[in-house]
Amino acid sequence: MTRTLLTLTAALALATPAAAQDMFIDNATIVTATDVRPDTDIEIRNGRIARIGANLRASEEVPVQMGGFVTPGLFAPYSTLGLVEIGGEASTNDIGSEAEGSSVSELAADSFNPYSVHIANARMRGVTHAVVAPSPDGDSIFAGTGIIIDLSGDFGSVIDEAAFVHVAIGQRGAGLAGGSRAAAMAQLRGALRDATRTYDDPDDGDVLSRADAAALRPAVNGRIPLMVSVSRASDMMRLIALKDEFSRLDMILVGAEEAHLIAGELASADMKVIVDPQENLPASFDSVNASFDNVLILQAAGVDYAIANLGALGVSKAGTLNQHAGNAVGNGLSRQAAFAAITDTPARWFGLPTNSLEVGDAASLVVWDGDPFEVTSAPVAIMIDGENVGTDSRMRRLRDRYNPLSNSTQPHKYR
């Protein structure tokens, strides 16, 4: 019965886009980064949250959606969404470039494709916002400049075109810089100094061209974060030391498997951290201390952290955000902390409004059929900035075409 109702709602959403911005969510548990409100009804009119309360009645002609859980959309703090269609096919892959003499000024915004199939595939799993990061390649430790997107899948979806600069140090940076950590750090330090100098000639810089130095300047000034891929504790300590010379740097450390060894130092230095709570193996000599306890210790020490899937296989990562956060809960993190780490925390870092689902807000939310941390749960309705974006995707269409319950006698290509 419930399923029929949901299907009807979805069908209606597709058929009449105007009315789709109205929705009555009946008897849901609202979960946000700050609170949990059980047994609550929500009415959305014209894309805005019109009413929230207990035992409300749906206004006439507003489609009713059976609630399970309602949350703000999830915010993937690290992804490659829109930069790559098929990882192994270079022709479809703009994650990194080996171009010589260019680095920071390569803009992910130029590569980003809002029509990538992976955007809808991740969205139907509850992700509505994402950091999109290029990866370093070639001979520069700098990957380029990343963006913040929503997953509406249209051309308005880039929220911030120059949101952060991504760089790699440690083992990866050493490989790019010529073979040692010292070379990587020398390149980073030289680049940061270049970003503060005046160029009379395009080749004035020690490390960066004039264009790259200009692109790095907002990061040196702390106006946008410098995102640093790093794993080993000793490398993170050297990054903290970098603040002696560049005090305004706003660093976000990605990976940070050994952060728990220096949690106090990271907290004191206001270092932000993106961790994957499922990283527990010594994947390299940079992370021999990887542990499930990492995120728990960061929480206890007051480190400002977000949670991401940093594991294998790029494009499928963003869609499993709830599982990775849920596993942190399974290992002892509080649900509220884990939820903040995949919603409000990355939003706050990049200057987006946090989302506590209040009356008057443009509806940006996900209705789940169960606890959003459970791998068995899935979204049944999704709104981004007041727009009902549905749960359609390429995956969903393949599913429907090959569903064994289909009673179509047509060849699959006609289904």
Partner 1 sequence: MKSKTALFLCSALMLSACDGPNGNTKEETKESVTFELPQAFPSTYSAQPSETVLIRNARIIDGTGEPTDATSLMITDGKIAAIGADIDGGDADVIDADGGFVTPGMIDIHSHLGNYASPGIRAHSDGNEITSPITSEVDAEHGVWPQDPGFDEALQGGVTTLHILPGSANLFGGRGVTLRNVPSRTVQGMKFPDAPETLKMACGENPKRVYGDKGGPGSRMGNVAGYRKNWVKAAEYKKKIEAGDEPTRDLQLETLAGVLNGDILVNMHCYRADEMAQIMDLANEFDYKVTTFHHAVESYKIADLLAENDVCSAVWADWYGFKAESFDGIPENLPFVHAAGACAMIHSDDQYNIQRLNQEVAKAWAAGNRAGLDISKDEAWQWLSTNPAKALGILDQTGTLEVGKRADVIIWNGDPFSTYSRPQSVFVDGARLFDVEQRIKPQSDFRLGTEVER
From 57-65, 193-201, 355-363, 392-400, span contacting partner 1 (CB under 8 A): 392-400
The residue within the footprint of partner 1, chosen from 14, 281, 300, 359 (CB under 8 A), is 281
Output the six-digit token pair for 115.
Answer: 């029509």
Q: How far is the CB of 385 from partner 1 (least distance, A)?
A: 26
Instruction: Please give the DSSP secondary-structure letter assigned to residue 80.
Output: -
From 20-28, 139-147, 356-364, 400-408, span contacting partner 1 (CB under 8 A): 400-408
Output the six-digit token pair for 285.
Answer: 């000599």
Give Cα separations from 75 to 318, 343, 367 (angstroms): 9, 5, 15
The candidate with the shortest Cα–Cα distance to 229, out of 141, 359, 147, is: 141
Output the six-digit token pair for 158.
Answer: 């880039």
Q: How far is the CB of 293 from partner 1 (least distance, A)?
A: 8
The residue within the footprint of partner 1, chosen from 405, 409, 411, 413 (CB under 8 A), is 405
The candidate with the shortest Cα–Cα distance to 231, out of 303, 297, 290, is: 290
Other Cβ atoms closer than 10 A to 339: 27
From 37-45, 198-206, 275-283, 381-389, span contacting partner 1 (CB under 8 A): 275-283
Binding mask 73-112 for partner 1 (x = CB under 8 A): ------------xxxxx-----------------------
Residue 392 is a binding residue for partner 1 (CB under 8 A): no
Other Cβ atoms closer than 10 A to 414: 8
The residue within the footprint of partner 1, chosen from 302, 330, 351, 353 (CB under 8 A), is 330
Residue 29 is a binding residue for partner 1 (CB under 8 A): no
The residue within the footprint of partner 1, chosen from 60, 312, 409, 411 (CB under 8 A), is 312
From 26-34, 44-52, 220-228, 315-323, span contacting partner 1 (CB under 8 A): 315-323
Strands 158-168 and 226-230: parallel
Q: Tally the residues of the chain.
A: 415
Strands 36-45 and 48-53: antiparallel
The residue within the footprint of partner 1, chosen from 32, 97, 278, 299 (CB under 8 A), is 278
Complex with partner 1: residue 57 or 399, whichever CB lies closer: 399
Complex with partner 1: residue 41 or 286, whichever CB lies closer: 286
From 42-50, 64-72, 323-331, 343-351, span contacting partner 1 (CB under 8 A): 323-331
The residue within the footprint of partner 1, chosen from 62, 378, 386, 392 (CB under 8 A), is 378
Q: How far is the CB of 257 from partner 1 (least distance, A)?
A: 11
Q: How far apart are CA 256 and CA 273, in angstroms?
A: 7
The residue within the footprint of partner 1, chosen from 5, 183, 186, 288 (CB under 8 A), is 288
* Interface positions, 334-373, toward partner 1 (CB under 8 A): 369, 373
Complex with partner 1: residue 87 or 114, whichever CB lies closer: 87
Q: How far apart are CA 351 and CA 220, in angstroms?
A: 17
The residues facing 29 across adjacent strands are: 69
Q: How far apart are CA 112 and CA 80, in angstroms?
A: 9
Q: How far apart are CA 404 and CA 189, in angstroms?
A: 59
229 neighbors 166 (Cβ within 8 angstroms) = yes
Please report which residue ranges of 52-158 form alpha helices under DSSP H: 108-111, 117-123
Residue 412 is a binding residue for partner 1 (CB under 8 A): yes
The residue within the footprint of partner 1, chosen from 148, 329, 337, 362 (CB under 8 A), is 329
Q: How far is the CB of 53 from partner 1 (least distance, A)?
A: 29
Strand (E) positions, 208-362? 226-230, 251-255, 272-275, 304-307
CA 243 to chain centre: 26
Residues making contact with partner 1 (CB under 8 A): 3, 85-89, 118, 121, 233, 260-261, 278-285, 287-289, 297, 311-316, 319-320, 323, 326-327, 329-330, 369, 373-378, 395, 398-399, 402-405, 412
